[in-house]
A and B are shown apart, each in its own frame.
Chain A
Amino acid sequence: MNKQPAMQSRILWVMTLVCGIVFLALCAGFYRVISLKIDTPIELISVATPTNSTIPQIATRGSLLDRRGRILAGSRVGYKLFVDPSLVDDSEELAFELGEKLRLPPADIERKILERADSKYVVIDDLLEQWQVDLIRDSSYKCVGLEPRLVRSYPHGNSVASLVGLVGTEHSGLAGLEHSLNNSLGGTSGTLVRLRDIRKQTLWVDPKNYKPKNNGDDVHLTIDVVIQEIATKHLQAAVLHCNAGGGRVVVLDPKTGDILAMTDILNPRENWTQEVSDPLREIDPRLGRNRCLTDPYEPGSTFKPFIWAAATELGKVSVNEVLPTPSGNPYLTSSGRTIRDAHYYGPSTWRKVLIKSLNSGMAIVAERLTNAEMQKAITGFGFGSPTYLGLAGETRGLITSKKNWTSYTQASVAMGQEIGVTAVQMAQGFCAFARDGSLPQLRLIATSKNAAPIVRQAITPEIAKTTRTIMGEVMTEGTGKNSQSDLYTLFGKSGTAQLPKADGSGYFEDRYTASFIAGAPLDNPTVVVICVIDDPDRKIAHYGGEVAGPVVRDIIDDTLEYLGVPPTKLQVANEH
């Protein structure tokens, strides 16, 4: 029985030992937990399986829309295909399978993988088609992934290319409106951090880890794609017909100042010297400059209405005043300069000077104006200032400085020579005749449906109306006869200017810039169109009335018909 107490105490002693060992183990475990929590080993962090993933929230770039909401440039999310070579077991097999599935050359796929076998990201295809994306999504490749990217598409192609421009690989504007409107169109991408389980299914998203994307704003342009295509079609046909170096057309609504179409074509010809060139356009048509506002040209006789109206308003001459225009020989100015006319009509009225485009008549009246009056008249119509359309590279044109302005300049400018203007400046100035003598601020972006603000009152409403009426007669009796429309009553003016030599040594004798500017309908002008044909082949045709006039007429006819403006001539006929 004395064994019992000894055993009893031994059991207690063993229990104490067990307690001690267990406490020691529990304390060691607790110490380990605390040390792991306070100071997690770097190697543990580096091998830890990530429990969350960041999903980029790609912001789409705003669309460029025409005045009726048609998409000129739009963005969508596309996918590129990439492979993680570190997870590829057999690149040849993978290349073969992917190639077969996606109809891509397997050899290319394998070469791409092997070229960068030690990386974790190799792009196999920059942009997959939707069926390819669906196939990849349905497959279970661990080493193959889809990465979203933005894709910009331009559904209307080259007809709006130089106007719309394009974006670069990072989806930021490189040229055209894409460049100048980059701030409005460009969005800000966001991120979403999601917690996921081992099978990569989303568990939850912490609101703190969500940065929403900000899509770019859509921009409505004043351009109408249909009118743009009308303008491009007719211009293209004319340029090709007369083998010209190029051509420009601007169509605008004089009431609002909205540019409805603006197109610029180049037609490179072999064996021609001093061709209009645009190296960037050869790389990509969307990179090219928009010559309607970057390249000045000599307007020739299309400039006469501006001087005609200004001189009339200043009271230097009255509409029906008969001027001593010559009957057979060229006119000699007071400074002894010889001024030639295409035809000699003898003494003619100031009205006839414009209708028949008499250089002599313009020179006579120009001599009655002081240099300052002439300069003020020119700048009053907006020449010498940019139109601030918001496109990069716009020129203010070329006007002889006051210091170098001579009597020679005075006569030249009155005939549209020795001055450089852009097509948009001409269109804007011409609006004064189509309106009440005021110049509207031109716009490409449809900020509101209201009319654009007025830049300035160039001439009085009466003079504007008179000039317009007489330009209506230009179409029936003058240089615009060939461009007369069967549907609408037009008012306009043709111009044929000699092409200046690039080295500044004067003009080509046989090369021209043919242009025509007109508005319609005469009583309620709704559209103004200017067409400039660069360097038409003289062997085919070269006068503005012949080459550019029909283009303007056709564009006006088609545009007004499209806009639903009833034909004024038929109306007259029907009324009778």
Chain B
Amino acid sequence: MRAGQGVVILSVMLLMLGVVMVNSAGLSVSSEPLTLKQMILSRPALLAVLAIGAMWVGSRFPLRFLQVKIAGLPIVFWVIPVALLLLLAVYVPGIGKRVNAANRWLDFGGFAFQPSEVAKWSMIAAIAWWGSEYSKNMASFKKGLLPAVLVVGFICGVIAAEDLGTAVLIFITACILLFAAGCKTIHFISLFPFGIAALVGAIMASSYRIDRLKAFIDPYDDPGGVGYHILQSLTAISSGGLTGLGLGHGVHKFGYLPEDTTDFIFSIICEELGAAGAGAVLCLYAGLLVLSFSVIRNCKDSFLRLLVLGIATTIGLQASINILVVTSLAPTKGIALPLLSNGGTGWLLTAFCVGLINAVDRASFANTTTSVEQWQPSHA
């Protein structure tokens, strides 16, 4: 079995667990009994089916298409302005949707998604193209690093206004990709003060971010206020002991723990499935990363390598940050657990990108066995 197939299998397992846990966490008390139809046709189940479809599409995706040039620049470049337009569209009355006091959503007649999700994956493809296309310039600060950092910084600045967590995640992933593409360490270090200043500025600019920081430093200071969310998460994790309360038997999902189906689903997994469930989730992510590493090793193309690195890093970092947040090892960020937390576009796009990892692996496998190079982009 190829590593790419392994990545897909692990992702499907995460999706399946996600469907079960999102349904469990979404349980509510009702006088009407749940029908079989309602259970089978639940929103998470349908989305998971769509996500698996997206994963299949990703696996079969003609990778050459990513570098098809329009007006002298490849498609992966053009997704940047599109993403930027979408990011700005959240402020347009009528299509922008305000949720939890933040403009993070676009709503096109019932089809709602977060443009930051689109930007997240677009940036990976664009930086991977930049890193591979101008690999010779990467050692140069002016020609290699600066243009990319400026674009990424601008996009992240736009996202940070509404969603600092995702902006930080995109920025870190982009930096890792640029570093992998050959940027000099000294250049990176010289950028650190700007990055930290931007982060501190973004935090100071918003009172709720300061509260989250306070809650992280001492949640017991205001257990009913800013510390409530994280304390509920810790209580949920600690309850049920090592074996857990059993699937569906958790209590904190009944209003005690906010965001229980999305960002804080890991706490519900710990409560219901115990240490075994938590360990399994962590192993699935770790396995996904190890297999992605294997895909990168087998791949000979720099763009595709950087692309897989970007996707794997995003999934790995997102999972790490989420788990550190819910266990109060990091301050609260609005970052979901990839493929597990309830999400629409999040699931579809992540699944599609996981499919791309498989597509890269398929291509590498086909390349080494049949020496067919027709898929390879011209620069290689």
Chain A residues proximal to chain B, CB less than 8 Å:
3-4, 6-8, 10-16, 18-19, 21-23, 25-30, 32-34, 36-38, 40, 43-44, 47-49, 51, 195-199, 201, 203
Contacts and interface: CB of A to CB of B under 8 A. Distances in A.
B180 A11 contact: yes
Contacts of A34: 242, 275
Contacts of B242: 34, 37-38
A15 B254 contact: no
Contact of A4 (B275, B302, B323): B302
Given A11-B296, A18-B313, A201-B29, A195 B302 contact: no
12 contacts: A3-B136, A11-B180, A11-B302, A18-B316, A19-B289, A29-B320, A29-B329, A37-B237, A37-B270, A44-B234, A48-B231, A49-B256
B182 to A, nearest CB: 6
Given A3-B135, A203-B29, A203-B254, A33 B296 contact: no
Interface string B303-326: 001100100110011011101101
Interface string B156-196: 00000000000000000000100111100000000000000
Contacts of A51: 251-252, 254, 256
B176 A14 contact: yes
A47 B292 CA distance: 42
Contacts of B152: none
A47 B278 contact: no
Given A11-B181, A195-B251, 16 more contacts: A3-B182, A8-B302, A10-B180, A11-B180, A18-B176, A18-B312, A18-B313, A29-B329, A32-B329, A33-B275, A33-B327, A36-B327, A48-B231, A49-B232, A49-B235, A198-B255
Contact of B324 (A4, A28, A43): A28
Contacts of A27: 282
B255 A7 contact: no
B223 interface: yes
Given A37-B242, A44-B231, A29 B323 contact: yes
B168 to A, nearest CB: 15
A182 B302 CA distance: 91
Most buried by A among B282, B286, B319: B282
B22 to A, nearest CB: 18
A551 B216 CA distance: 87
Contacts of B270: 33, 37
B204 to A, nearest CB: 26
| In the complex, the 5 A-B pairs of residues with the closest C-beta atoms, listed nearest first | A198-B255, A25-B320, A197-B254, A29-B323, A14-B180
Q: How large is the interface on B (under 10, 10 to 19, 20 to 34, 35 or more residues)?
A: 35 or more
B306 A11 contact: yes
A12 B326 CA distance: 30
A17 to B, nearest CB: 8
Contacts of B240: 37
Contacts of B324: 25, 28-29
Nearest to B132: A7
Contacts of B220: 43, 47
A474 B312 CA distance: 118
A25 B135 CA distance: 31
A443 B321 CA distance: 81
B278 A18 contact: no
B279 interface: yes
B241 A19 contact: no
A563 to B, nearest CB: 55
Contact of A197 (B238, B255, B292): B255
Given A28-B324, A201-B29, A12 B289 contact: no
B293 interface: yes
B254 A32 contact: no
Interface in B201-246: 220, 223, 227, 231-232, 234-235, 237-238, 240-242
A26 B285 contact: yes
B289 A44 contact: no
A179 B340 CA distance: 66
Contact of B29 (A14, A37, A47, A197): A197
Contacts of A40: 238
A33 B242 CA distance: 9
B290 interface: yes
Interface string B266-308: 0000100011001100100110011011001100101001100
A15 B256 CA distance: 39
A36 B328 CA distance: 11
A199 B306 CA distance: 49
B135 A7 contact: yes
B276 to A, nearest CB: 11
A10 B176 contact: no
A257 B43 CA distance: 78
Contacts of B241: 37
Most buried by A among B270, B290, B328: B270
A28 B329 contact: yes
Nearest to B297: A12
Contacts of B182: 3, 6-7, 10
B29 A15 contact: no
Contact of A15 (B279, B296, B317): B296
Contacts of A26: 282, 285-286, 319-320, 323
B106 to A, nearest CB: 30
Contacts of B274: 37
Contacts of A198: 254-256
A22 B255 CA distance: 31
Nearest to B285: A26
Contact of A203 (B180, B251, B289, B329): B251
A30 B279 contact: yes
A111 to B, nearest CB: 29
A206 to B, nearest CB: 11
A473 B313 CA distance: 119
Given A8-B305, A10-B180, A22 B319 contact: yes
A199 B254 CA distance: 9
Most buried by B among A16, A23, A199: A23
B180 to A, nearest CB: 4
Contacts of B237: 32-33, 36-37
B251 A22 contact: no
A22 B296 contact: no
B251 A30 contact: no
